[in-house]
Amino acid sequence: MNTIPAGDRTLGHAVVLGGGFAGILAAGALAPYAETVTVLDRDEPHVAPQRRRGVPQDRHPHFLGPGGAELIEALLPGVHTALWAAGARRIRTTEDMLLYLSAGGWLPRYRTERFGVACSRSLLDHVLRERVRQFGNVGFRGGCLPTGLLGDARAVTGVTYRDLRDHEGRTPGARGPAETCSLPADLVVDATGRASRASALLAGLGVGEAPLQVVDAGHSYSSRVYRARPGAERSTPLVLIQAETGPGRPSGNGALLPIEDGLWIVTLGGLRGAAVPDSEDDYLGYARHALGTPLLADMLADAEPVTAVLRSRSTFNRRHRFDRVPGWPRGFLVLGDAATALNPVYGQGLTVAARGATALRATLAAGEPVTRRLQRAVARSALLAWEVSTRQDRRFPHTIGPAVGRIDRLAHGYADRVMRAAQSRPAVGARLIDAMFLAAPAVRSVGHPMVALAAALDGGAPHLTTPPLTDRERSVLTGGRR
Ligand SMILES: Cc1cc2nc3c(=O)[nH]c(=O)nc-3n(C[C@H](O)[C@H](O)[C@H](O)COP(=O)(O)OP(=O)(O)OC[C@H]3O[C@@H](n4cnc5c(N)ncnc54)[C@H](O)[C@@H]3O)c2cc1C
């Protein structure tokens, strides 16, 4: 599978801290260009799809949008085929989607070339990890807690870590006996997610602190897995219900992701102070009354739940401006949520991680060293997602973050008009989806002159106020209720 000749291996040994989505992709980006790659994680690398302590969000829906779906195939050719074979669903935009927009109204369904990936997060990581293993030079090591960086403020030359495994290679847990180990490397990538200690590791080498930016709408997620209603096991569309932004409008959000094994993973969410259900009590009541549409409540009304309700509050947007740290050491890179973590409600985090790994691959392919230049490219690759996510979150009344200014208000008004125009013009809808899921830059999506013109001409009331279901879907998914 690895088609890149060994002569292009400009790195000896590379270490990736964290074997989540960004870490797996970073290892895949590195594999053709390094002699060996070692991925260190606190958790053991599972050989089957399994939930992990280090990825608590794997209990919640994870849709890999079209932008990220394209990138993972470019990084790991053949991975789509492996995902479909493992039971992941291919979600064509917008043919296989029911999207209720924050400006009110539904997006019509039409065919484009783009698609995203729907499966459980554990399956997604598992398939990617197995594909990366096929390079033959990537090792995944569990029970490892990074404690420091080797080198100095000019160049990182490896890591130190506590090895929590016993002499039989089992992980006794973070409080067990631990040996401190050193691992020299030409490149160290931190992909340890929201829990990253990259700033502390860098401080240990005397590198200055990165400015931190936080925008927190206080969103919380409450998720539950259901068995798909009979007849809908392989044909349920992805349902996304955005929180409405108008005064007095319902501010709950929801999603239903059809995944492998004929299951649906459902989430209900709300802003700070919302009565998002913690348990099964009133789960359906919230779905019916707190969202802009009762479609989810109708779909779940007599569906069979197969798990308890699980909550997540890891939703604040936070970025460390590592790209702004003067004197960034060579041979160190921060990727994924460790650099930019986004409100998951917008479904962009996986794509941002894939964009970062793609920037790493491009640097290696160009034969360039890993320096602050690459960290800047990684920050740029997350910029559109940061703008979309934080600008939308700052519309909500109790969001903690910079106040909304005149430019924001213009952007909000424009976004609403684009959403309404998209309800009658598929070409606008396609570009809106491209922006939402980072499949094209803003100038080619919502900033395109055709979109701007449509928004100016056609930004009035929502056009599509009932969900665009087919007759079969209406009967199978809602028992004819909608
Ligand atoms: C509730 C929820 C729902 C989401 N839904 C979506 C969605 O639909 N679409 C989407 O695109 N994004 C979604 N996201 C965002 C997505 O989960 C993240 O963007 C993505 O996981 C980032 O990947 P990562 O590898 O950077 O971090 P993670 O996937 O969190 O991986 C971090 C890894 O580092 C390891 N680790 C952590 N600390 C240490 C340590 N000290 N030592 C060793 N190892 C360590 C962990 O074990 C883990 O393997 C969602 C997030 C949440 C919270």
User: In this predicted model, what pLDDT tens digit does every residue of 10-24 receive, in sequence order?
Assistant: 899 999 999 999 999
Does a structural domain hold residue 403?
Answer: no
Ranking 169-178, 181-190, 393-402 by mean pLDDT, the lowest is 169-178
At 13 the pLDDT is 98
Q: Nearest to residue 259, comparing CAs of 15, 86, 392, 21?
A: 86
At 176 the pLDDT is 56
CB atoms within 10 A of CB 200: 13
Does a structural domain hold residue 132?
Answer: yes
- pLDDT band for 316, please (50, 70, 90 cuts): very high
> Is 418's pLDDT higher than 90?
yes
CB 132 within 8 A of CB 24: yes
At 353 the pLDDT is 98
> Is 285's pLDDT higher than 90?
yes
For ligand 1, which residues put their CB under 6 angstroms from it? 18-23, 41-43, 54-55, 57, 60-64, 145-146, 191-193, 195, 221, 312, 314, 336-338, 344, 347-351, 353
Does a structural domain hold residue 472?
Answer: no
> Is 214's pLDDT higher than 70?
yes
> Is 252's pLDDT higher than 80?
yes
Nearest CA residue ID for atom 5, ligand 1: 62
At 1 the pLDDT is 53
- Cα gap 382→72, rounded to integer Å: 16
- Cα gap 215→71, rounded to integer Å: 27
At 4 the pLDDT is 55
At 458 the pLDDT is 80
What pTM did the predictor assign?
0.95
| One domain for residues 333 and 374 | yes
Residue 153 identity (one-letter amino acid): A
CB 29 within 8 A of CB 400: no
pLDDT in tens, 421-478: 999 999 999 999 999 999 999 999 999 999 999 999 986 777 788 999 999 999 999 8
| Average pLDDT over all residues of the chain | 92
At 87 the pLDDT is 97
At 6 the pLDDT is 57
Average pLDDT over residues 208-224: 95
Does a structural domain hold residue 470?
Answer: no
Relative to the CA of 144, which ligand 1 atom is closest? Answer: 43
| One domain for residues 201 and 261 | no
Range of the domain at 10: 6-62+122-214+315-387
At 274 the pLDDT is 87
Q: Nearest to residue 145, comparing CAs of 179, 189, 186, 193?
A: 179
| One domain for residues 45 and 133 | yes
| One domain for residues 131 and 38 | yes
> Is 167's pLDDT higher than 90?
no
User: How far, in Å, is the centroid of ligand 1 from the Cα of 193?
Assistant: 5
| One domain for residues 200 and 232 | no
Q: Which residue would you say has higher pLDDT here, 69 or 271?
A: 69
pLDDT in tens, 221-242: 899 999 999 999 889 999 999 9
At 245 the pLDDT is 82
At 441 the pLDDT is 92
Relative to the CA of 194, which ligand 1 atom is closest? Answer: 30
Give the domain CATH number at 167: 3.50.50.60
- Cα gap 408→413, rounded to integer Å: 9
Number of domains composing the chain: 2
- Cα gap 193→18, rounded to integer Å: 7
At 8 the pLDDT is 81
Burial category of 401 from C-beta neighbours within 10 Å (exposed 0-12, middle 13-18, buried 19 and up): middle
